[in-house]
Amino acid sequence: MFAKQLTIFIENRTGRLCEVLNVLKKNDVNILSLSLADTTEFGLLRLIVDKPEAGKERLAEGGFSSLLSDISIIKIPHSVGSLQELLEVIDNSGVNIEYMYGLSIEDDNAYVVLKASDAEKVDKILDENGVVTVGCEDLIHIK
């Protein structure tokens, strides 16, 4: 299954990240995972949140433009080599991985967020190979 990622453009300036987070906090949007990639000029804040659509709307009201994109949240065993095995499956299919970041939150399992050049195709491949993907809402219940 796909999940939605919320991406916000922020320029490198003191306090800018805090302003974005403040909008989410005030509107009770919970952050489940994040990745902040930056250049010297600006950064892209990529968030997995419990309410992506509402988050986008609230951010727009606060003057921040953001984008919802399709990503896969993949469950893999929390063990040496499992990520490499996953990538092998994807690489063999010829789909390009644009970026990924991880969240390791269970004793036995870890989760990675993966953005592929072709979200639909990668989803199909994962399914065929028995790899489990989850939605944002599923992450909330993971303890």
Which residues are near other proteins by CB under 8 A?
Answer: 5, 7, 9-11, 16, 37, 39, 41-42, 44, 46, 63-67, 69, 98, 115
- Shortest Cβ 9–other proteins spacing (Å): 6
Q: Which lies closer to other proteins via its Cβ, residue 17 or residue 89?
A: 17
Q: Which lies closer to other proteins via its Cβ, residue 98 or residue 128?
A: 98
Q: Read off the tokens for 73.
A: 């949240």
CA atoms of 51 and 5, how far apart (whole Å): 10
- Shortest Cβ 47–other proteins spacing (Å): 10
- Shortest Cβ 78–other proteins spacing (Å): 27
Q: Which lies closer to other proteins via its Cβ, residue 42 or residue 106?
A: 42
- Shortest Cβ 10–other proteins spacing (Å): 6
Q: Return the closest-CA partner of residue 64 out of 13, 17, 26, 25.
A: 17
Unique residue bearing structure tokens 């072709």: 118
Q: Which lies closer to other proteins via its Cβ, residue 41 or residue 107?
A: 41
Residue 17 to residues 3, 12, 21, 110, 116, Cα–Cα distance (Å): 23, 9, 6, 27, 26
Amino acid residing at 102: G
- The answer to whether 103 and 74 have CB atoms below 8 angstroms apart is no
